[in-house]
Amino acid sequence: MKLERTKTRVVGVDISGERTTFAVVDIRGNIIAEDYISTYDYADVNEFVAALAEKIVMLVEANGGYETIRSVGVSAPSASFKLGSIVNAANLPWKGVIPLAAMLRDRLGLAVAVANDAHISALGEKTYGCAHGMKDFIVINIGVGLGSCFFSDGHEHLGDEGYAGEIGHTCVVPVDGRLCGCGKHGCLEAYTAAKGIVKTAEQLMAESDAPSLMRQMEKLSPRTIKECCDQGDEMAIEVYRRVGYMLGIGLANYASVVNPEAIVFTGGISKAGKWLFDPTRQAFEDNVFRNMQGKVKMLVSEFNDRERDVLGASALAWVVPEYSLFK
Ligand SMILES: [Zn+2]
């Protein structure tokens, strides 16, 4: 009798503007080995994929061998799981449509699935994080941008081409709204992601001559504004009050459509803590559909973002049909 060799590991890859992390992960979500390359070293995407594939092979060969790997999952900004491609990523060096799943599959001889970072964060939270066991939930990622993904009845809702969940680019200020990175005006992201928070701080400082620690800051950022809040700075607290107000309204609209058990926050801005989430909760409860008032949990991810995205990418890898030149 011939014994079938069982493939008990996958590779999870997390591509961000700064670095690309990849790891060999076992079926229980243990990271066996991890390495990275610098994304911005590769202006040409073909060179990037070649270097990434070479490094993945090296990592795999040094940690159990190719024959133990079932498949590969990749997290990338502006990626579509349905298209297997990165499409018009604002924060990556490569423009247009990049058929990354096919490019990497051809190099590695393994099945490759690609999904956007919000989708991957949600998968990571469901598989290994605080959404474990939930069927209906929203994951909101607040950082440079405002991304999201939601699960409905246990499954991620991706939409026709895989772009579902773009809550950051829904309009909250229809008249004289701020210009958003996407080219539209008045998007939620323009008020609640990193640049928008700094802009609100600048506007508040311009509105009055009131003293504020923020005026002495060499560089304003969501983190330094939060530090001013921690020291009791009233104007900094007002910054997050305004940000939370916008976020709460946006999420109330979102939740009223989706009816989630919980909203899970990830990303750097979620570290602003009560300064952001108290006003967010207030505006949320004031605006959400009445039957959902007081029922939607708001949770902050306990994961380190990079670890979660590598694990989320590995969870995605288990979803693709197996394909290998190395059976
Ligand atoms: Zn936008």
The confidence score (pLDDT) of residue 326 equals 53
- Residue among 70, 52, 68, 37 nearest 314 (CA): 70
Compute the distance from residue 15 Cα to the ligand 1 centre, in Å.
Answer: 22
Q: Which residue has the tokens 């990175």?
A: 181
- Residue among 83, 61, 73 nearest 21 (CA): 73
Compute the distance from residue 164 Cα to the ligand 1 centre, in Å.
Answer: 14
Compute the distance from residue 181 Cα to the ligand 1 centre, in Å.
Answer: 6
> Reading across the β-sheet that carries 97-98, which strands appear in turn?
79-80, 85-87, 97-98
153 with 164: CB under 8 angstroms?
Answer: no
Compute the distance from residue 226 Cα to the ligand 1 centre, in Å.
Answer: 24
The confidence score (pLDDT) of residue 303 equals 86
- Residue among 98, 47, 35, 105 nearest 73 (CA): 105
Compute the distance from residue 167 Cα to the ligand 1 centre, in Å.
Answer: 9
Compute the distance from residue 216 Cα to the ligand 1 centre, in Å.
Answer: 31
Largest CA distance in the chain: 83
The confidence score (pLDDT) of residue 3 equals 52
Compute the distance from residue 106 Cα to the ligand 1 centre, in Å.
Answer: 34
Compute the distance from residue 222 Cα to the ligand 1 centre, in Å.
Answer: 19
Q: Which structural domains are found in the chain, ordered by start?
A: 9-116+306-319 (3.30.420.40), 130-302 (3.30.420.40)
Beta strands in the chain (DSSP E): 9-15, 19-26, 31-38, 69-76, 79-80, 85-87, 97-98, 111-116, 137-142, 146-152, 155-156, 262-266, 297-300
Compute the distance from residue 191 Cα to the ligand 1 centre, in Å.
Answer: 10
pLDDT 10s digits, 176-189: 999 998 899 999 99
**Coil, strand, or helix at residue 185?**
strand
Compute the distance from residue 196 Cα to the ligand 1 centre, in Å.
Answer: 11
Compute the distance from residue 99 Cα to the ligand 1 centre, in Å.
Answer: 24
Compute the distance from residue 183 Cα to the ligand 1 centre, in Å.
Answer: 6
Compute the distance from residue 314 Cα to the ligand 1 centre, in Å.
Answer: 29
Give average pLDDT by consecutive 10-residue segment, the chain, 327 residues. 71 93 95 96 96 98 93 93 90 92 95 93 92 96 93 94 91 96 94 97 96 94 97 98 98 98 95 97 98 98 85 93 64
